[in-house]
Chains A and B, each alone.
Chain A
Amino acid sequence: MTVFLSGGAKNGKTALAEDIAVKLSGGGRRYYVATMIPYDGEDRARIARHVAERAEKGFGTLELGRDIGSCTDLGGRDATYLVDSATALLLNEMYPDTFDREPDPMAAERCRSGLARLAREAENAVFVSDYLYSDAARYDDFTENYRRDLASIDRLLAGLCDVVIEMTAGIPVFRKGGLTL
């Protein structure tokens, strides 16, 4: 089964996604696909804390900031993957080498094809994204392109996944399909 979760920040998306991944995997292997690429000691400390917390819930961790389609090469098809988040993944793919360069125009396409591959191949996959689309602001081209590209990824995942959940105030609202929580 595949599940897509989106919604505003600090809504409980990750916590719910973990619960869903635990439930879907049953006794099988489950991986948290960590998309954050650490840049300093503070990042690394936070990541170490998260890894320890998730180990208690039975998650292995795959550190994969890019090339998300290769998840099943690393963990096998008969596993459950939690990808958190499409938002970070896109940013990583936009800057394959360094933040000094222009963003890679193929980043969104690489994310879409990689995520579609994971959704197709994995026994279960849970995807988390962020809803950045309903504020009154005029952004610079960079931010506007980023929002447009992330939306294209969200729409692809919402179309592909069996279940789509919008988190609102910590409450899951089912936009497509359903599952017992």
Chain B
Amino acid sequence: MDFIIGGAYQGKRDCAVQRYGLTEDDIYTCTESEGIRFGARCIDRLEEFTLWCVKNGTDPLEVFRENRAAWRGCVLICQDIFCGVVPMGADMRAWRECTGRLAAYLASEAETVTRVFCGLEERLK
């Protein structure tokens, strides 16, 4: 699994498309209303999936551990939402925390970790 992380609008998806030769059809985009579906070569917007988890009382880390075989060969993309002020709302705090724990788990499982900053890639692992 290859893990791509970075702030909003930094070019993470473009990086995945170029580096791994993906087309838009290869990418599944998580939403806060639908959650996640495994099976695509690339799963983008994991932070939308974790927001869905917060709203539905689900632990995203458990979902990923249980479905390990389904994403082991994938490219996974998550927004870095970890650098701001601690959010005022309980949901937003829970969102940040569970997204952070998921990102750390995925980074530890990944063969490569790439951070995208202003369209520039940096290999972290």
A93 on interface, CB distance cutoff 8 Å: no
Question: How many chain A residues have a CB neighbour from B under 8 Å?
Answer: 23
Task: Give the residue name and chain of the B residue nearest to A4 (CB).
Answer: B118
Q: Given A148-B9, A151-B8, A151-B9: A134 and B120 within 8 A (CB)?
A: no
Partner of B85, one of A133, A135, A175: A135
Q: Does A147 contact B (CB under 8 A)?
A: yes
B81 near A175: Cβ-Cβ < 8 Å? no
B8: which A residues are within 8 A, CB to CB? 133-134, 147-148, 151
Say which residue of B9, B85, B118 sits within 8 Å of A6 (CB atoms). Answer: B118
User: How far, in Å, is A116 (CB) from chain B's closest CB?
Assistant: 14
Q: Which of A8, A134, A136, A155 contacts B119 (CB 8 A)?
A: A155
Type the 1/0 row for A89-100, where 1 means its CB is closer than 8 Å to any CB of B: 000000000000
Once bound together, how far apart are the Cα atoms of A97 and B80, in whole Å? 35
List chain A residues, Cβ under 8 A from B87.
Answer: 136-137
Q: Which of A27-35, A44-52, A158-166 contacts B (4 or more CB under 8 A)?
A: A158-166
Most B CB atoms within 10 A — which of A151, A159, A164?
Answer: A151
Minimal beta-carbon separation of A81 from chain B (angstroms): 20
For the complex formed, measure the closest distance between the CB of A72 and the CB atoms of chain B, giving whole angstroms.
Answer: 24
A176 contacts the other chain (CB 8 A): yes
Q: Chain A: interface secondary structure?
A: mixed
Chain B's closest residue to A151 (CB) is B9
Which of A133, A136, A137, A138 gathers most chain B CB within 10 Å?
A136
Among the listed A4, A133, A157, which residue makes an inter-chain contact with B7, where contact means beta carbons less than 8 Å apart?
A: A133
Question: B73 contacts which chain A residues (CB < 8 A)?
Answer: none
Best-surrounded residue of B8, B93, B96 (most CB of chain A within 10 A): B8
Q: Tell whether, in the assembled complex, residue A135 and residue B119 are in contact, meaning their CB atoms are under 8 Å apart.
A: no
8 Å CB contact of A176 from B10, B79, B95, B120: B120
A–B complex contacts, Cβ < 8 Å, 21 sampled = A6-B117, A131-B7, A133-B10, A134-B7, A134-B81, A134-B82, A134-B84, A135-B83, A135-B84, A136-B81, A136-B82, A136-B93, A136-B95, A151-B8, A151-B9, A151-B118, A154-B119, A155-B9, A158-B120, A164-B118, A175-B120
Going nearest first, the 9 A-B pairs with the smallest beta carbon separation are A135-B84, A133-B7, A151-B9, A136-B96, A158-B118, A134-B83, A155-B119, A136-B81, A134-B7
Q: Which residues of A contact B (CB under 8 A)?
A: 4, 6, 8, 131, 133-138, 147-148, 151-152, 154-155, 157-159, 164, 166, 175-176
Residues of B within 8 A of A (CB): 6-11, 79-85, 87, 92-93, 95-96, 99, 117-120, 122
